[in-house]
Amino acid sequence: MTRRIRLIADDYGLAPGVSAGILDLLDRGRLTGTSCMTGFPEWPDAAERIKPLCGRAAVGLHLTLTDQPAVTGRSSLAPQGRLPPLRSLALPVLRGSIDERDVRAELDAQYSRFVKALGRRPDFIDGHQHVHFLPVVRTWLRAHFSEAGGQPALRGAPALGDAVVAPKVAAIAAVAAGFNRSMARVGFTLFEPLAGIYDWRQPERFAPVLQAAVETLPERGLFMCHPGHVDDTLRARDPMQGVREVEYAVLASDAFGASLARAGVEIMDGKG
């Protein structure tokens, strides 16, 4: 029997080279879809390029609350107009030094830019550095998508089986505690379990992590990835650079296609 899994690329819209690599992999049928960062000046052009794939590919929103310019400009969330590092986000929100209204306004703005550019709601929502698991974002999701049947799917929590060898998985799972259950209770569909978490500073680990997912992910399980091409825009915006080329090359390779065939696995399209 054929087993279907989801492969979804983060960060469409981060830089032209990243977007181009993701579009190429979508054309090759090597991705289920991608989640979009809508806060950059290039977003309207990037949206036009991916718009013809909507429906065939799953096109989602990549909520961004860290390390990039804020769509809403200066606020308690982004005092200088730039979103804080992750370590400077979660605890200040809980302590009240960041006004939750400013967080919700930023999420509203990113969502509105998605809908305006693509003329449709996102198929799913996830978060840059997994910020969608934070309590303030959970609250926004429940409030923003309250009507029955109108919710996008959400990226779920990682499986805990790898926690012993990957402390990063355990840390993310801790932040995500209760997320799947609470969001499913109010009607959201979850893409789960999540695989693909590894130390991107060790690019050689990507291929084994991907192969393990091909062999072990259950039906409709999700593997997240970050393929793309490095350009000057990416160099100026994000430290995750050369590893994107590695991920792109692995996903585009004949060897990956052969591994899918041997395992009896198909990559789901956006209609699944």
Q: Is residue 168 part of a domain?
A: yes
Question: Is there a contact between 4 and 191 (Cβ–Cβ < 8 Å)?
Answer: no
Q: What's the pLDDT tens digit per position in 61-99?
A: 999 999 999 999 999 999 999 999 998 898 888 788 899
- Tokens 């789960």 — which residue? 192
Domain that holds residue 234: 3-267
What is the average per-residue pLDDT within 242-262? 98
Which of 158, 170, 167 shows the shortest CA–CA distance to 224?
158
Q: What is the pLDDT of residue 174?
A: 85
Q: Is residue 177 part of a domain?
A: yes
**Cis status of the peptide bond prior to 44, with omega within 30 of 0:** no
Q: What is the pLDDT of residue 165?
A: 47
Distance of CA 66 to CAs 85, 103, 186, Å? 5, 11, 27
Q: What is the pLDDT of residue 31?
A: 98
Q: Is residue 195 part of a domain?
A: yes
| Number of domains into which the chain is organized | 1
Q: What percent of the chain stands above pLDDT 90?
A: 84
Q: Is residue 272 part of a domain?
A: no
Query: Are β-strands 194-195 and 190-191 bridged in parallel, bridged antiparallel, or unpaired?
Result: unpaired
Residue 194 has pLDDT above 90, yes or no: yes
What is the average per-residue pLDDT within 24-41? 98
> Considering only 21-25, 139-143, 160-164, 215-219, which range has the smallest mean pLDDT?
160-164
Q: What is the pLDDT of residue 234?
A: 98
pTM: 0.95
Which of 33, 29, 25, 24 shows the shortest CA–CA distance to 6?
33
How far is Cα 138 from Cα 144, in angstroms, rounded to an integer? 10
Q: What is the pLDDT of residue 164?
A: 41
Which of 148, 77, 85 shows the shortest CA–CA distance to 110?
77
Residue 54 has pLDDT above 90, yes or no: yes
Return the CATH number at 149.
Answer: 3.20.20.370
Long-range contacts of residues 102-106, Cβ cutoff 8 Å, at least 24 apart: 102/72, 102/75, 102/76, 102/77, 102/78, 103/65, 103/77, 103/136, 103/137, 103/140, 104/136, 104/140, 105/72, 105/75, 106/65, 106/70, 106/71, 106/72, 106/75, 106/77, 106/78
In terms of residues, how long is the chain?
272
What is the average per-residue pLDDT within 241-249? 98
Q: Is residue 154 part of a domain?
A: yes
Q: What's the pLDDT tens digit per position in 110-142?
A: 999 999 999 999 999 999 999 999 999 999 999
Q: What is the pLDDT of residue 166?
A: 67
